[in-house]
Amino acid sequence: MRMISFTVAVFMTAIMPLVISAGDAPKRSAELQVLDRLIGEWETEITIKGTGEKSTTLQSRRWSREGKFVLSEDLDKSAKKESHFLVTYDAKAKQYRACFINEEFTVPLMGTWDESTKTMRWKSSDIAFRHDGVHRFVNKDLVEWTMTVTSPEGKIVLEMSAKQTRRK
């Protein structure tokens, strides 16, 4: 009996990724379909305003198993640091939710989509340093974004701009 249970458990574990892949998930809402443009392999060149310092990151983005979240694994090539970005749509609140996390900090973000300009606007919530960002989807293979971080006293402590290119 134990052998049968063990065999069934191994079999179910082996086929589970096939059963619950994002491709099999129910059709996503129009709001979640906006996030389809994030999916894929990307390279981002980030520039820090003021210093001109540049860094390059690689992103690998995919839908979660149930097709409700975009999962992004990011690697800063120069600093050799890993980070993650999680994005979804909250139908009750009628806004996008995202969370950026690395080993130093976590930034929860709330977003709004403007279809006419193909722009996502992000604002942080419930953290001391305010984050305001804009992602503009120039075309299917190019995104330009900016992010400004402001201290609780209202002083700008960081301004970044970036060009994000889909890797082929």
Residues facing 46 on adjacent strands? 55, 162
Per-residue pLDDT, averaged over 25-44, amounts to 92
- pTM of the predicted model, to two decimals? 0.80
Residue 19 pLDDT greater than 80, yes or no: no
pLDDT of residue 26: 64
Of 118, 122, 121, the closest CA to residue 137 belongs to 118
Average pLDDT, the chain: 87
Tens digit of each residue's pLDDT (9 = 90 or more) over 124-162: 976 789 999 999 999 999 999 999 999 999 999 999 999
- Name which of 1-10, 21-30, 31-40, 46-55 the model is least confident about: 1-10
User: What is the rounded CA–CA span in Å between residue 166 and residue 168?
Assistant: 6
The reported pLDDT for the residue numbered 25 is: 54
- b/e map 56-92, b = 16+ CB within 10 Å: ebebebebebebbbbbbebebeeeeeebebebbbeee
Give yes or no for residue 15 having a pLDDT over 60.
no
Q: Report pLDDT for 13.
A: 38
What local confidence, expressed as pLDDT, does residue 125 receive?
Answer: 74
User: Among 1-5, 53-57, 70-74, 82-86, which stretch is predicted with the lowest mean pLDDT?
Assistant: 1-5
Asked if residue 8 has pLDDT above 90, the reply is no
- The residues with which 58 forms a beta bridge, in sequence order, are 43, 75
Task: Determine the average pLDDT of the residues in 74-92.
Answer: 95
pLDDT digits 0-9 by tens, 39-81? 999 999 999 998 999 999 999 999 999 999 999 999 999 889 9
Residue 117 has pLDDT above 50, yes or no: yes
